[in-house]
A and B are shown apart, each in its own frame.
Chain A
Amino acid sequence: MTSAHPKLVRQRGRFGRWRQQLSEISWQAYLLLLPAVSLIAVLFGGGLILAFLQSVGLLGLTSEGSLSLEAYRQALGSGEFWQSLGLSLYIALTTTVLSTVLSVGLAMLLQGTGRWASFACQLTLPIPHLVGIAGILLLLSPSGLLSRLLFSLGWISSDQDFPLLVNDGANFGVMIHFLWKEIPFMTLILLAVLRGIRPEYGIQARALGANPWQCFWHVTLPLMRPGIISASLIVFGFIFGSFEVPFLLGSTYPKTLPVLVYQAFTDVDLNQRAVAIALGLILSAISMSLIACYLWLSSGKPYRWLVGRRQP
């Protein structure tokens, strides 16, 4: 398209251009988005607001209270909260970084193996987390299948010799489960991204003297970046807020933040409910700000992600 005719632009001015931007097509778009956006706004936004009002004592199950930050004081005041935060961050960061690196490697390795690679990656995709948890428990517990296998091979002499991999202090079980579930998921996305990158770029880079490693580092990886960012974002957000996996596979102390929230929520003391909600809100706030930071750091120009230049 050629540049705007100077005279016409001058006549329309700022207001005219604004009105042009919101021309018929824009209104149509907003109208089409209205049902989805309003449902999410009511459910997600409304839920957050109600939660906030409850946490500061303005809304209560039993009585209309008065404004108080007692719940936040209690939540942030306990040493357990900080331990839980540390554990949640440790699990989410370690697993996300490991999944991302391994998925990029796997995607590069499996590139060109055709649709079978994608199909293999779909094996764990539709499996409920709870089923995965059950499988990991029966596989890795001291009396699990792996332990029996090692015993029959004579590598261990009793189930006591098998290393503790579930409900362990280091939360290996939790991380193994997430890696098992999220690596195929990320690899699947990255394989789709890789298929969208034209191989000519790589050939061109090689022709210009790049070795395979330079070609990967300077050409393929930057082209994959939007896909990597959005996939790791979803994975991080999910792991950070996940409840059932650390609850069933994780260490008994300290607990992850979501487990802590659950514990406060189901406490017999109803006052703990406000604390649970305060903890939940803190959890949401932390994940939102971490995501914002990540977007900021990973793109340099974070608003570009918002403008949506590239599809995730």
Chain B
Amino acid sequence: MTRKLALLLIVTVLFLPFLPLLIWSFAKGWYFPQLLPQDWTLQNWVSILAISSKVGQGFFQSLLIASISTGLALLVGLPAGRALGLMTFPGKGAIKLFLLLPIIVSPLATLMGIQFMLIRLGLSGTILGVVLVHLLPTIPYMTLVLSSVYANFDTGYEAQARSLGASPIQVLWQITLPLVAPGVVVGALFAFLISWNEFLLTFFVGSGRVFTLPMVLFTSLQGGNTGLTAAISITSILPALIFLLFSSRALRSDAAIGGLGDV
């Protein structure tokens, strides 16, 4: 009973910051002493959905950048996760730590170095430049999640399939990938969310020209329109909601959670 109460309390506290956001996004002039707004409006949502709005543009840029960097991280994370999850070799711990460096060491100095190079290459302020930088946090998380997914994968299935006549390629497509798929989905969701939520990296190398949703939100937060900020905030949560929907099923495995990181 105490546990149930504690759980309820935790959920309430965690949900608390969303409450004013929800109210504000529908409020029309909500002044201090009022506990609830006197007038409600859809104005904030209408202006977000307007064609000319920066929000729509930011939404699609975020979507594009997050999709590409997730795809790339998956491409390099799958083999790396396999090596770290299934094999033993000299220097394994050092390599793992090295791959984790970008998420435990402040990226500011690195960013300013990369920014210098991107300017020379003409990639500063381009989507490609931002995607490259987004690989810094996505690759480590992807590798971490996939290595614990692979650590729980039994290579006996592969040996079994080979002995039944499957070539290495057939084994990969018909056995390994289908079997690690649930874990791969978790890893991909993670990478996608990290890229989707990333502000600092985009801020530094986007040069104000790549305007992802977090950039729009940041600008709005510094401006004065609270209702609009609240609506943008809620829009930014959309992928997270999809994630939660998935996670109740896909995150059921401790395998993937074991390799979890911060989003």
Q: Consider the complex of A and B and state whether they touch directly, i.e. have CB atoms less than 8 Å apart.
A: yes
Please report the total number of A residues contacting B with Cβ < 8 Å.
109
* B260 closest partner in A (C-beta): A189
C-alpha gap A49/B117 in the complex (Å): 11
| A298 in contact (CB, < 8 A) | no
| A97 in contact (CB, < 8 A) | no
Interface centre among A51, A126, A244, A303, by most chain B C-beta atoms within 10 angstroms, is A126
C-alpha gap A303/B111 in the complex (Å): 29
Interface of A (DSSP majority class): helix
Which among A30, A130, A148 is the interface contact of B214 at CB below 8 angstroms?
Answer: A130
| A66 in contact (CB, < 8 A) | no
* B252 closest partner in A (C-beta): A115
Chain A residues with Cβ below 8 Å from B133 are 43
Binding stretch for chain B, among A136-144, A198-206, A213-221: A136-144
For residue B121, give the distance in angstroms from its CB to the closest CB of chain A. 12
| B90 in contact (CB, < 8 A) | yes
Chain B residues with Cβ below 8 Å from A118 are 251, 257
A180, B106: Cβ atoms closer than 8 Å: no
Closest 5 CB pairs of A and B: A135-B17, A241-B106, A280-B109, A51-B113, A237-B104
A139, B19: Cβ atoms closer than 8 Å: yes
Interface of B (DSSP majority class): helix
| B164 in contact (CB, < 8 A) | no
* A125 closest partner in B (C-beta): B263
* B94 closest partner in A (C-beta): A306
A21, B105: Cβ atoms closer than 8 Å: no
Chain A residues with Cβ below 8 Å from B204 are 265
Which among B34, B89, B97 is the interface contact of A148 at CB below 8 angstroms?
Answer: B34
Could you tell me which A residues sit within 8 Å of B by CB distance?
21-22, 25-26, 28-33, 35-37, 39-41, 43-44, 46-52, 54, 59, 61, 106, 109-110, 112-113, 115-120, 122-139, 143-145, 147-149, 151-152, 159, 180-182, 184-185, 188-189, 192-193, 195-196, 233-238, 240-241, 243-244, 248, 258, 261-262, 265, 273, 276-277, 280-281, 283-284, 287-288, 291, 303, 305-308, 311-312
For residue B70, give the distance in angstroms from its CB to the closest CB of chain A. 14
Chain B residues with Cβ below 8 Å from A37 are 80, 95, 98-99
